[in-house]
Every structure is written in C-alpha cells, then in structure tokens.
C-alpha cells in the first residue's frame, strides 16, 4: 500500500513539474514595420554630446520568413538584405555570412507592435575616439 502511494505521488509530481508552459506571446519580428523616429547621438572627447531626433520619414522595413529584410522609403526606393537574430542582436548583411556583418543592431525593445533598434559605433579621427549612437523606433 505504501509503495502504491509513493508511486502515485511520484507520478503526480512528475506530471505537474514536467509540464512546460507554451510561450504563445513571444514577439515575432516578421512583418512590416514603420519607422516612427530616428535618434542620433555623437560624443567627441572634451565636447558636449550632440543629439538629434527626426520623425519617421515614411520608411518601412519588412522582415520576411526567408531571413530577408526589405527597406523602402515612401514605398518606392527599396532594397533587400539578409538578416539574422542571435542573442538579441540583429545582424544585417548583403550575404548570408554574418560573421563580419557591418550592421549590427541591439533589440532594445521588442514586442509584437514596438521595436527599438540600437547601434553604437566608434571611429578615430585625428587621435580622438568619436562615439556614434543611433536608435530606430518602429511600430507594426
């Protein structure tokens, strides 16, 4: 009798704790996104950082299931690239080799309807290291 109770308890415990929750609410990047705003910040050593924010210009960015992304300004001037997302980093490249992709964006905010992409780069000019940052805010 004790063995039956232990077996039943073990069975119920296994059934309860081995169930995995489905994450049906995980956001998907697939679809057409519209640029809402673009913010830039440039920091030069010894100077006050400069910032500018521009409203969206009608640009759309469509992420497709075949890992291509199409960017269009006013529905006409369009180009396509390949993309890959690994550890919240969006890499964009003309080829499917993302090892040395020049465009890498961090997914700062990522929901079903809101996407904020962030990019930080540095360049050296006359010995000064200049930091450039950009934020793209998009919505579906």
Domain assignment present for 9: no
As given in the structure block, the two tokens for residue 114 are 């809101």
* Structural tokens at position 81: 């690239």
Give the span between the Cα atoms of 68 and 65, in whole angstroms. 7
Report if residue 38 sits inside a domain: yes
Residue 116 lies in a domain: yes
Among the listed ranges 52-66, 84-98, 115-129, which one has the minimum average pLDDT value? 84-98
Does 93 map to a domain?
yes
pTM for the complete prediction? 0.73
As a whole number, mean pLDDT of residues 48-52 equals: 93
97 band by pLDDT with thresholds 50, 70 and 90: low
SS3 115: strand
| Distance separating the N- and C-terminal Cα atoms of the chain | 60
The pLDDT of residue 21 is above 70: no
- The string of DSSP codes covering 19-83 is -----TT-----EEEEEEEEEEEEE-TTS--EEEEEE--S-EEEE-TTSEEEEEETTTEEEEEEE
Q: Is residue 115 over pLDDT 80?
A: yes
Examine residue 83 and state whether it is found in any structural domain, yes or no: yes
Task: Give the mean pLDDT of 135-139.
Answer: 96
Q: Does residue 2 form part of some domain? A: no
- pLDDT single digits (tens) 120-132: 999 888 888 999 9
Residue 135 sits in which domain range? 28-139
Domain count, the chain: 1
Return the CATH number at 53.
2.40.128
Domain assignment of residue 33, yes or no: yes
């Amino acid at each position: 009798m004790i063995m039956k109770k232990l077996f039943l308890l073990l069975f119920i415990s296994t059934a309860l704790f081995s169930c995995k929750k489905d994450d049906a609410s995980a956001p998907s990047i697939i679809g057409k996104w519209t640029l809402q705003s673009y913010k830039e910040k440039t920091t030069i050593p010894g100077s006050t950082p400069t910032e500018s924010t521009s409203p969206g210009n009608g640009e759309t960015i469509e992420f497709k299931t075949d890992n291509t992304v199409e960017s269009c300004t006013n529905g006409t001037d369009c180009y396509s690239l390949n993309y890959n997302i690994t550890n919240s980093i969006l890499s964009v490249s003309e080829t499917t080799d993302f090892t040395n992709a020049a465009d890498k964006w961090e997914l700062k905010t990522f929901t079903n309807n809101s996407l904020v992409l962030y990019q930080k780069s540095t360049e050296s000019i006359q010995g000064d290291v200049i930091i450039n940052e950009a934020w793209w805010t998009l919505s579906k």
